[in-house]
Amino acid sequence: MRNRFTSSYIDGPIGSTMLRTACSMLAGTLAISGYNIADTWFVSSLGTDQLAAMGFTFPVIMLIGCVYRGLCVGVMTPTAHSLGGGRRPEAARLVTSGLMLMMLASLAIGTAGALTIEPTFRLCGAGSNVMTYIVQYMLIWYFGSFTGTLGMAGNDLLIAAGDSFTASMLMLFGLGLNVLLDPLFIFGWCGFPVMGIAGAALATVISQAVCGIVALRLLYSRHRLIASPRIPRDTLGKAWKTIIRFAVPATLGMLLMPIGSAVITRIVASFGDAAVAATAAASRLEVVAFIFPMALGIALMPMVAQNYGARRFDRINQCRRFAMRFAGGFLLTMAVIYFFAAPYVVGWFSKDPEVQRIMILYLRIVSFGFAAVEIHRFSGFFFTGCGRPAAAAFLNALRVVVFLVPFSLLALWAGSLVLVFWARLAADLLAGGIACYAARRMTRNLPEEPFGKPQETPAEFQAEAVNESAEL
C-alpha cells in the first residue's frame, strides 16, 4: 500500500519531482553544517585552548559519524525497496529492527569511546592543556550520541518515505534550537549553570534528541513505519542481516573519504604552511558549489530504491539521465564561475599573497572536476539503490585508492604542488567517467524480475492491503 508521499517517487514526473525535492532539502542541507559552525563560533569566545579542543574532536566525530551514516543507509535502502513495492508492514519491521540495531551500536560505540578518550586523542596529538576540555566535551557527546543517531535515522527515513520537506524543516529546527541552547549552557545565560565547552555538547545532544523524537513520532503516526518492538527472533535476525549487507559497504565507502583527505593533506604539507592554509580555505569554498547538487542527491537514492522495489526500471533510467545531466551542466557552470571569480574571492580568506596565489591555482584547476565528482557520487547512489552496495563501495575505493592517492604521490615525487592539483583533477575525471559508464550499463541491464517472483495481480494487491490494515 502506498500513500501520497511514496507515490510522488513512483508516479510523479521525474525532473520536477527531483527538483522540488532538492529545493525542499536545501534548508536541511545548509543546516547539516550549521551545527559545527554554531558550536565553533560560541566556543571560540571561551579561549584558544577550548577552540583547539573542538578542532581535535571533529575528525573523531566525523569517523564515528560515517559508521552511523552507514547504518542509516542500511536501514533506509531496504525500507525504500519495501515501500516502493507496496509492502508497508515489511518496511515497518525493517525500520523498527534497524532502530534497535542503531541504538545498540551507538551505546556500544559511546561506551567504548568514553573509556578511551585520553589515549585516542593523545594519538591525535592533543596535549595536556586541551585534554581537559576534550574530555568534558566528548563524555557528553559519547553518551548522548544515540540521540544524534536517532535524529539522523529519523530524517533519512522521512526522506525515504517521500516526506523530504518535513525532514528538511526538522533539520532547520534542530539547528535553531542548538543555536538557542548554546549560549544558555556555555555561558550560563538566563540562570543556567556555566558549563563552558561541555555546554556545547549538551546543546547538540538535546537539539538532536528533540528532532529525533519528532521524526520518530511522524514515522509512527503519519507514515505507519514503526512496528511493535516484539519482533520474532528469526525475523529480527533476517532484518539485521539485510541492514548490515547495505551498511558495511556504505560505511567503508564513506570512511575512504576522510582517510583520502588526510593523506592528501599530508602530501600538501610537504610544500609548506601556505600550501596547507590555501588548500584548506579553497576546499571550504569548493563546498559552496555542491550545495544544490547535494540537496538533489539526498533524495536520489531513496527515489531510485523505491522505483527498484516497484520494478519501475524505466523510471530509474530516467532518474539517471536527469541527475547526470543536471550535475554535469550545473557544476560545469560553477567551474566557469570559479575560474573567473577566483582572483576576487580569495581575498576574503587571506591577505597573504602566496596563499592567494595557491588558492587561485587550486580553484582554477580542481573546479573543472566538480561535475565528475558529483556524477561519481550519484553513480554510487544508483548502485546502492538498486541493491548493489558493494559496487558503490568499490567506486569510492577506485577514486581514492587507485587514482587520487597514487597520482598525488607521483606529484609529490615530482616536487610540484601544481601537479597535486592536476592529479586531483585527473582522478576525478577518470573516476567520474568510469562510474558514469558503470551506472549506465547497470541501470540499462536491470533484470525484469529482480525479486524472483511474478508481478502481483490486482487481487493480490487487494489481499495484501486487507492484511496490512488488519495488522496496523
The 3-class secondary structure across 34-101, one letter per residue, is: HHHHHHHHHHCCCCHHHHHHHHHHHHHHHHHHHHHHHHHHHHHHHHHHHHHCCCHHHHHHHHHHHHHH
pLDDT at 463: 43
Mind listing the pLDDT tens digit for each residue in 200-223? Answer: 889 888 988 898 889 889 988 888
| Mean pLDDT of the region 398-405 | 90
Closest CA to 56 of 1, 111, 136: 136
Query: Which amino acid is it at 460?
Result: E
Distance CA 389, CA 249 (A): 6
Q: What is the DSSP letter of 401?
A: I
Matching residue, cell 532484518 = 239
More confident residue, 383 or 261: 383
pLDDT value of position 34: 67
pLDDT at 466: 37
Give the pLDDT confidence score for residue 382 in this predicted structure: 93
Q: What does the pLDDT read at residue 324? A: 92
Which amino acid, 402?
Answer: V
Residues in CB range of 349: below 8 A, 6 or more apart: 281, 284, 285, 355, 359
Confidence of residue 449 (pLDDT cuts 50, 70, 90): very low
Report residue 187: phi and psi, to 5°. Answer: -105, -5
Q: How many CA atoms lie within 13 A of 46 on its CB side?
A: 26
Q: What is the DSSP letter of 187?
A: S
Q: Of 188, 190, 208, 361, which Cα lies nearest the Cα of 279?
A: 361
Pick 398 or 28 by higher pLDDT: 398
One-letter amino acid at 224 equals R
Decide which of 345 and 384 is more confident.
384
Is the confidence at residue 470, as pLDDT, over 80?
no
Of all residues in the chain, the percent with pLDDT exceeding 70 is 90
Round to whole Å and give the CA distance between 306 and 7: 9
Q: Hey, is 297 helix, strand or coil?
A: helix
> Which regions of 258-313 does DSSP assign to beta strands (E)?
none
Question: 401 to each of 36, 366, 383, 409, how far by Cα in Å?
Answer: 29, 18, 19, 11
The rounded distance, in Å, linking the Cα atoms of 94 and 75 is 7
Average pLDDT score over residue span 164-181: 86
What pLDDT is recorded for position 7?
58
pLDDT tier, 36 (very low <50, low <70, confident <90, very high otherwise):
low
251: amino acid identity, one letter = T
Rounded distance between C-alpha atoms, residue 201 and residue 208, angstroms:
11
Instruction: Quote the cell numbers at residue 263.
Output: 593523506
Cα–Cα distance for residue pair 371/6, rounded to 1 Å: 29
pLDDT of residue 257: 78
- pLDDT of 440 reads 92
* H or E element at residue 246: helix 233-269
Whether residue 193 is predicted with pLDDT greater than 70 in this model: the reply is yes
pLDDT attached to residue 255: 84
Cα–Cα distances in angstroms (integers) from residue 239 to residues 231, 235, 255, 286, 376, in the given order: 10, 6, 24, 39, 29
What pLDDT does residue 312 have? Answer: 86
Give Cβ neighbours of residue 433 (< 8 Å, ≥ 6 apart).
Answer: 372
pLDDT average, residue stretch 325-350: 87
Angle subtended at Cα 312 by Cα 310 and Cα 316, rounded to the nearest 5 degrees: 120
Residue 398: strand, helix, or coil: helix
Question: To 5 degrees, how large is the angle CA 143–CA 149–CA 154?
Answer: 145
Q: What is the C-alpha R_g of the chain?
A: 23
The helix/strand/coil state of 312 is coil
Highest mean pLDDT among 53-62, 326-335, 442-451 belongs to 326-335
Average pLDDT, the chain: 82
Query: Does 99 score more than 70 pLDDT?
Result: yes
